[in-house]
Structure 1
Amino acid sequence: MRPRPTTPLLDLLRERRLLAIVRGDDPAAALRSIEALAEEGVTMMEVSLSGADALAVIRKAAAALAGDVHLGAGTVLTAQDAVAARDAGATFVVTPGLGDGVDEAIRLGLPVLAGALTPTEVIAAVAKGAAAVKLFPAFAGGASYLRALRDPFPAVPFVPVGGVGLDSVRDYLAAGAVAVGLGSPLLGDAPSGGDLDGLRRRARTALDLAGPL
């Protein structure tokens, strides 16, 4: 296996501006989806641990695409999740909130995109040492809420996730997001054995939308 990429997570988010979130009930299809995304030029992905056999998917994708794709584990809730994600080959973790998974990942030296929604949670995420804050679920406030949060937190890097569609990518970036996370609006049914061609088309569109404003 080639060496894991070591570029800091925040730098990658600022550079790539697009995080694909892969979650499915067919491990082989999830792996094919990751490979298709990589072929289209999407190079930051999160595999949610809530998907079927997600650790095996991460392990296989990390072995096949190391050096080409920056692969994280998502829905990391517990300390055990963080350890398993590291052992599977994830180079960062993503959490929906501020549980034990955040603390353990940081202890292990894995950068964390930590989930938060309220100002109090944002303060806590920063205090824990999160590399960036996953604004989740983003649809609860939309781009206008992100813009309002950036007034008291101008230095905090936000990545909106949850209900972010292709039609709102530019809005969130214009509101100050460093990147956006796209799940089902990008992946569709591909990780469950569905349409890979549609995934490829949406990937190209998403990359264009995530380009310079």
Structure 2
Amino acid sequence: MADKTEKLLSVLKLQPVVPVLIIDDAATAVPLARALVAGGLKAIEITLRTPAALDAIRLVANEVEGAVAGAGTILNAAQFDQAVEAGSQFIVSPGTTQELLDAASASSVPLLPGAATASEVMALREEGYQVLKFFPAEQAGGASYLKALSSPLAGTLFCPTGGISLANARDYLSLPNVICVGGSWVAPKELVAKGDWAGITKLAAEAAGLKG
């Protein structure tokens, strides 16, 4: 477990913001990922919310130099295995089930499991997890809630995702228990639709420059 924790930390420490992408057309995956990498965002989470997701992960993993492709919205063991087979180097889930934990323990690819309450965090700590996704961040209580967890649950690091934007990202990144944040604002649908990759690189560079 320690090895997988270190592997996950090495990915999440690459940048302050991990792009969370919903890709409708796999043909946009490579230019989009290249634009994000050019702006300094190498770790990229592609969510399994569309039929194109697995193909998009495969393309990014195989064709985008410097990119670290990950899969998000993983809900069960079958999706976990499919995402790993497609080339995912890290797996992200909105919550956790025993089935998902079992799949993760059998794999060398690290899991960033989702938690929203102190009890969920404690249960995952018992399973050996030190790095968690806090989701949905804004709806579950925001930065002030996460700050309140930092003392009683010291030693646990979070990647908050959900409702985070350029406007509030620093509120999270300034917390001692936050390693990075996840956000979709760096790849707006309208820019992807227009193929405005330079615009996305600019947003990525802005996000990459965020500090706590």
Could you state the TM-score of these two structures normalised by the residue count of structure 1? 0.88
Aligned residue in 2 for 1:155:
155
* SS at structure 2 position matched to 1:32: helix
Corresponding pairs, count? 204
Question: Unpaired segments of 5 or more residues in structure 2?
Answer: 1-5
CA positional deviation for 1:199: 1.7
Q: 1:51 to 1:26 in 2, by over 3 A?
A: same
Alignment of 1:28-177 (within 5 A): 28-65=27-64, 68-99=66-97, 100-130=99-129, 132-140=131-139, 141-176=141-176, 177=178
Q: Distance in 2 between matches of 1:105 and 1:11?
A: 18
Query: CA RMSD of the aligned region, Å?
Result: 2.0
Aligned residue in 1 for 2:205:
204
CA positional deviation for 1:14: 3.1
Q: Distance in 1 between matches of 2:170 and 2:152?
A: 22
Aligned residue in 2 for 1:10:
9
* SS at structure 2 position matched to 1:193: helix
CA positional deviation for 1:69: 1.8
Could you state the TM-score of these two structures normalised by the residue count of structure 2? 0.88
Q: In the alignment, is the contact (CA less than 8 A) between 2:187 and 2:200 conserved in 1?
A: yes
Q: Distance in 2 between matches of 1:85 and 1:170?
A: 31
Q: 1:109 to 1:191 in 2, by over 3 A?
A: farther
Q: 1:142 to 1:156 in 2, by over 3 A?
A: same
Aligned residue in 2 for 1:24:
23
Q: Distance in 1 between matches of 2:80 and 2:191?
A: 23
Question: Unpaired segments of 5 or more residues in structure 1?
Answer: 1-6
Q: Distance in 1 between matches of 2:145 and 2:160?
A: 10
Aligned residue in 1 for 2:3:
none
Q: Distance in 1 between matches of 2:129 and 2:41?
A: 23
* SS at structure 2 position matched to 1:71: strand
Aligned residue in 2 for 1:4:
none
Q: In the alignment, is the contact (CA less than 8 A) between 1:20 and 1:181 conserved in 2?
A: yes
Q: In the alignment, is the contact (CA less than 8 A) between 1:30 and 1:191 conserved in 2?
A: no
Aligned residue in 1 for 2:193:
193
Cα deviation 1:57-76 (Å, max 9, x = unaligned): 1111111135x222111111
